[in-house]
Structure 1
Amino acid sequence: MEVTQQTTKGGEFIIKETEAQSVFTPADFSEEQRMMYQTCLDFVVNEVHPLLDRLDNHEEGLMENLMRKAGELGLFGVSIPAEYGGYDMDFNTSLLVTEGVGGGHSFPVAFAAHTGIGMLPILYFGTEEQKAKYIPDLTNGTKFAAYCLTEPGSGSDALGAKTKAVLTEDGSGYVLNGQKMWITNAGFADVFIVFAQVDGDKFTGFIVERGTPGLTFGNEEHKMGIKGSSTRQVFLSDCVVPKENILGEIGKGHLIAFNILNIGRIKLAAACLGASKRVAGLSVKYANERQQFKLPIAKFGAIRQKIAQQAIRIYAVESAIYRAGMDIYRKEQEMAGQGQSANEALLGAAREFAVECAILKVEGSEVLDYVVDEGVQIYGGYGFSADYPMDRAYRDSRINRLFEGTNEINRMLAVDMILKKAMKGELDLMGPAMAVQQELMAIPDFGGEEETGLFSKEYKTIKNLKKAILMVAGTAVQKYMNSLAKEQEVLMNIADMAIKVYTAESTLLRVEKEVSLKGEDALGPQIDIARVYLADTVDLVNKSGKDAIAAMTEGDEQRLLALGLKRFTKAELFNTKEARRRIAAPLIEANDYVY
């Protein structure tokens, strides 16, 4: 396996090793970036949290006013070019800001819908006139945006939309008729990105302004969670939109929808990260305050294990998010250096790392769900009470596994995109996969030279886990060929293997890099985090691999693959109980999330 120094390819982590010094870690953020992050945290604590009950009751104008304040603070302009009133900062800074507002319950939903899927289609696909007309006001918070893709009959199947756009008799515009649902910010947005079929099958984006005759709205939806965000149906009845409001090219709306979703997925992971840190902090505080049997419950091993596991999963997904964010940024810089426009470069970079964006959307949302579930458990009976914070956190977290494509869709997308890259020759999966097949037939390696280095054994384990992925994926391709897409259970097994290995490797790389700067003594708990996460990953890869192998094979072939899987998921026992206690100790002492 080669070592990747600089720019890498999306999905390439499965077949290549990465050098720790080449990854970006949160320790690399500058003072200016940290100040922006702190501004976001302060805004959420001081402006959003005092209003949570009123927001959930949909007090008229409340969310809109909060959004306006965020715009005045400059929070919408992080990645917007200076010519439109933004700061034109790098991609990881935009992720950091998204993380910073992530603990604001319904607020980051409105924030992300506006700054992501609302604004970015115009910024990246709009004409110069469209950008000049809309982006400055959307950046400073005097206007807000919404994204209208989902319909009653089309969710994950976005291109199955039924909304129609018919050219007017005089050819000056299009008449839109249709219905959109689950539209975030619909209650107060001024600008709507609407997708419709031109001539029946040309999926196309349009910019529709509030106040356009024929544009009407349903009532606010009654939702399980994120109650404070505005979610309404949008109706278009003979809604006339001028030709100059076509977004991009006719029939190319899928380019807008899918490219914007790539960015939206990794940003959703960042928002989930911010929410997870807040919930973990609340969990620690409660564990220190709550007494049972004359002791704070933080003294008990069962609670320490929960506190530690929250931190382990948060730290791991954070490592992966900012690793991928920097990969996207480097690819963007590379493409810009080749003469592509800033917009083309970022979209191309996000498209290149669409696999990682899908992986992180899944892992980020599932980490938050895990953290809030354990938060409820730590709070005990009070966790079930609406008077305590876990009630809202638990309900609000659930939507994230549905947003930006369900986690099932994203799992299958991740594997599908990797295989398509291989078929196009963009990724050399065949060579490594064949090497794994040959290794299965060879005498096992019983040791050899002892490698040195902090994580030498762990990296060997990662290398073997990647072989397990290649073995299972290669078998699936051989077995099912063109019908593989129908074997969704197997695809999801492979995806789970890839998600955990990417995250485990990212965590090891982060800790190794930071140890090189601060020394092992300063990062003892982080070293434990990396090792515990890897130990859990080995077990999960083994389980997912076994399920896939059992589903695809039988007889001698099954026995051979099962032996191979056993070989590739072999790892030394590690005392995770003591490691988790060491991880929990600094959290309990600081009375907050500290990693």
Structure 2
Amino acid sequence: MELALRGGGFLLTEVAPDQIFVREEINEDHKQLKRMAHNFMTKEVAPKIEEMEEQKDGVVREFMRQAGELGLLGLEIPEEFEGLSMDKYATVVVGEEVPRGGSFAVAYAAHTGIGTLPIVYFGTPEQKAKYLPGLANGSKVAAYCLTEPGSGSDALGAKATAVLNPEGTHYILNGTKQFITNAGFADVFLVYAKVDGKMTNFIVERDYPGFSLGPEEQKMGIKGSSTRQVILEDVMVPVENVVGELGRGHVVAFNILNVGRFKLAAGAIGSVQVVLETALKYASERKQFGVALNTFGAIQNKIAEIATRAYMAESVVYRTAGLMESGFHDLDLTGDCRKEAGKALEEYAIECSLNKVYASEVLDFAVDEGVQIHGGYGFIKEYPIERMYRDSRINRLFEGTNEINRLLVPGTLLKRAMTGELPLLQAAQAVSRDLVSVGMGGNAEGLEALNQMTQKAKKLCLMAAGLAAQNLGMALKDNQFVLTGMAEMVNQVYAMESAVLRAQKVQTLDVSAEHKVFVEKAATLGAYAAFNILEIQAKEVLCAVEKGDSLSTVLAGMRKLVKRPNVDMIGMRQEIAKYIIEKEGYPVNY
């Protein structure tokens, strides 16, 4: 596989626009699927958001059944097991629409992602034949049980146990799982427990003796979703219900979380679109000083910033969908594909973590500004932005906290460098050697200038990472201050490059001229904002790992790398705000 398409490889080489997938390439089948999901969410689910918030019995479960009838639960399930066998782009276009149904999105995501995919990717043919048809048609709902009262981020510290009975026919499970989404109405539970101290994944059915639930958790947000403890007291689980390999449940758990993070990001960008529509509607109707709020520059600035960050986040997500589709395209999911699936899921662990972090933080920014646009009314329950604000906060905790995901990025990069999978250290050394010859920037303009900025951003990131590894040595792995700084640099590089490459590619596609203009302006604003963050983080990391004259020399080289043309950021925001207000929402170009 060429370096540009390897997980983490984007940091080490120049990527061409034709090597990424962009939203504007979605085909007619995906558009029809998106419209169908949109109609279901807006016409059927959304009108009953309040009933779900009050946890009226059976409402969410009934919507899951209806979603199954429409095929929305089986997008990634093979046709042989009543699924649709669709690609990763399908999961994104549907994932974007599901947040219109409020907390239903949580039940849907937990079921179709981490609840079902362990069986899809790591199950035996017999397990797939037994469980996947029901999970696809909605007659069964799944839940994922990894977290425990004493172990969240430290998943391998779980205490739940599984002991083989004397007859060798069943494992006896004991333990308590915490914060389990869908627990109140799920039928199939993917439970992680330790066999002789080693994590193993089991399929546990709701009606197994010894299985019980705690009361519903009273949550800050996503109130319509079911969240309970799962209590296991001598639960007898057939040996044929082991998912993946015995004692290697961590392979299932962590790799499934990778795809879960990617799917969470898809939901987050859809949520941002809903927030923007909600804020725009209010700003057009609410008058102050005799004129609509959306005529004020301070409000337009917020609208432009939300739209720009939405563009950045969706560029990241669709690019990652393209990468993952290339890795999963040839998998035979009807048979035993455990090893191949594990490799494919692990390949883009870095990108999946970056997706989750970036999109969830864009969403939190959007809902915060959405409340601000509403003023005091944003704090009142009857306005939907109040619920959106509360609901968004969980995304920075779900699927591994953003702190954990940030630490995974440099940790995985360094691990791959040490094993020879990625020439990270060689690339960092090359940047340091060539720093004296780095130009101050040519006369490039527009997207070409942005492309040059992106390459400099990569060099800056590599320089900081290389010096941190060189000067801190083995101590780097425990220095979370430096590691999180490095992670944020990689985060901004990936977002920046995704946005710029998308803008370049869109210019060659059959889309409207106004959309091409919007994409270029959003890419410019987003790239400059990313570079500003990158510059700050790089300086902090360098000052932490270098001292004295060496630091002065390094910072002098850094000044060459951060040199960039001046642009009228305010003017661009004004133009984007005008465009978004005219569109009355984010331009999905469908």
TM range, normalised to the smaller chain? over 0.9
Between 374-383 and 343-352, the greater mean CA deviation after superposition: 343-352
Shift of 1:443: 5.1
Counterparts of 2:336 and 2:570, CA distance in 1: 52
The RMSD of aligned alpha carbons is 1.9
Paired residue type of 1:324? T
Counterparts of 1:481 and 1:589, CA distance in 2: 54
Query: Residues 538 and 571 of structure 1 are in contact (CA less than 8 Å); yes or no, is this contact kept in structure 2?
Result: no
Q: State yes or no: 1:296 paired with 2:292.
A: yes
Query: Residues 167 and 175 of structure 1 are in contact (CA less than 8 Å); yes or no, is this contact kept in structure 2?
Result: yes
Paired residue type of 1:524? V
Shift of 1:511: 1.3
Residue 474 of structure 2: aligned partner = 482
Match of 1:533 among 518, 521, 526: 526
Compared CA separation, residues 483 and 537, structure 1 to 2 (3 A): same
Residues 408-436 of structure 1, C-alpha deviations (whole Å, 9 max, x = no match): 00001011111111111111122321121
Query: Residues 376 and 391 of structure 1 are in contact (CA less than 8 Å); yes or no, is this contact kept in structure 2?
Result: yes
Counterparts of 2:535 and 2:244, CA distance in 1: 46
Between 181-190 and 425-434, the greater mean CA deviation after superposition: 425-434
Residue 212 of structure 2: aligned partner = 216
Residue 324 of structure 1: aligned partner = 320
Q: State yes or no: 1:566 paired with 2:576.
A: no
Query: Residues 116 and 264 of structure 1 are in contact (CA less than 8 Å); yes or no, is this contact kept in structure 2?
Result: yes
Query: Residues 102 and 273 of structure 1 are in contact (CA less than 8 Å); yes or no, is this contact kept in structure 2?
Result: no
- SS of the residue aligned with 2:6? coil
Q: State yes or no: 1:250 paired with 2:246.
A: yes
Residues 27-57 of structure 1, C-alpha deviations (whole Å, 9 max, x = no match): 1111111111111111111122111111111
Q: State yes or no: 1:54 paired with 2:48.
A: no
Residues 159-202 of structure 1, C-alpha deviations (whole Å, 9 max, x = no match): 11100111112221111110000000000001111111112x12
Residues 195-219 of structure 1, C-alpha deviations (whole Å, 9 max, x = no match): 11112x1211111111111101000
Residue 264 of structure 1: aligned partner = 260
Counterparts of 2:438 and 2:218, CA distance in 1: 59
Residue 354 of structure 2: aligned partner = 359
Counterparts of 1:571 and 1:391, CA distance in 2: 40
Between 57-66 and 555-564, the greater mean CA deviation after superposition: 555-564
Shift of 1:357: 0.4
Paired residue type of 2:120? L
Residue 436 of structure 1: aligned partner = 431
* TM-score normalised per structure 2: 0.96
Query: Residues 440 and 560 of structure 2 are in contact (CA less than 8 Å); yes or no, is this contact kept in structure 1?
Result: no
Counterparts of 1:556 and 1:119, CA distance in 2: 56
Query: Residues 440 and 563 of structure 2 are in contact (CA less than 8 Å); yes or no, is this contact kept in structure 1?
Result: no
Residue 192 of structure 1: aligned partner = 189
- SS of the residue aligned with 1:205? strand
Paired residue type of 2:470? Q
Paired residue type of 1:480? L
Counterparts of 1:103 and 1:548, CA distance in 2: 40
Counterparts of 1:335 and 1:81, CA distance in 2: 11
Query: Residues 110 and 142 of structure 2 are in contact (CA less than 8 Å); yes or no, is this contact kept in structure 1?
Result: yes
Shift of 1:341: 6.8
Paired residue type of 1:366? E
Between 144-153 and 47-56, the greater mean CA deviation after superposition: 47-56
Compared CA separation, residues 547 and 7, structure 1 to 2 (3 A): closer
Match of 2:79 among 74, 78, 82: 82
Match of 2:135 among 129, 135, 138: 138
Counterparts of 1:383 and 1:244, CA distance in 2: 52
Q: State yes or no: 1:183 paired with 2:176.
A: no
Counterparts of 2:147 and 2:177, CA distance in 1: 6
Match of 1:394 among 361, 381, 389: 389
Counterparts of 2:437 and 2:370, CA distance in 1: 48
Counterparts of 1:365 and 1:413, CA distance in 2: 16
* TM-score normalised per structure 1: 0.95
Q: State yes or no: 1:40 paired with 2:32.
A: no
Report 1:108-507 matches (<5 A).
Answer: 108-199=105-196, 201-333=197-329, 344-440=339-435, 442=436, 444-447=438-441, 450=443, 454-507=446-499
Shift of 1:483: 2.0
Counterparts of 1:137 and 1:507, CA distance in 2: 39
Shift of 1:347: 4.1
Counterparts of 1:292 and 1:87, CA distance in 2: 51
Q: How many residues align?
A: 587
Counterparts of 1:308 and 1:187, CA distance in 2: 41
Query: Residues 147 and 194 of structure 1 are in contact (CA less than 8 Å); yes or no, is this contact kept in structure 2?
Result: yes
Residue 551 of structure 1: aligned partner = 544
Query: Residues 78 and 93 of structure 1 are in contact (CA less than 8 Å); yes or no, is this contact kept in structure 2?
Result: yes
Shift of 1:525: 2.1
Counterparts of 2:211 and 2:281, CA distance in 1: 48
Counterparts of 1:98 and 1:227, CA distance in 2: 19
Counterparts of 1:576 and 1:16, CA distance in 2: 29
Query: Residues 3 and 13 of structure 2 are in contact (CA less than 8 Å); yes or no, is this contact kept in structure 1?
Result: no
Query: Residues 147 and 179 of structure 2 are in contact (CA less than 8 Å); yes or no, is this contact kept in structure 1?
Result: yes
Query: Residues 355 and 417 of structure 1 are in contact (CA less than 8 Å); yes or no, is this contact kept in structure 2?
Result: yes
Paired residue type of 1:548? V
Paired residue type of 2:535? N
Q: Which runs of 5+ in 1 are unaligned?
A: none
Counterparts of 1:300 and 1:7, CA distance in 2: 44
Shift of 1:541: 0.6
Counterparts of 1:500 and 1:390, CA distance in 2: 28
What is the aligned-residue identity percentage?
A: 45
Counterparts of 2:261 and 2:381, CA distance in 1: 30
Shift of 1:343: 6.1
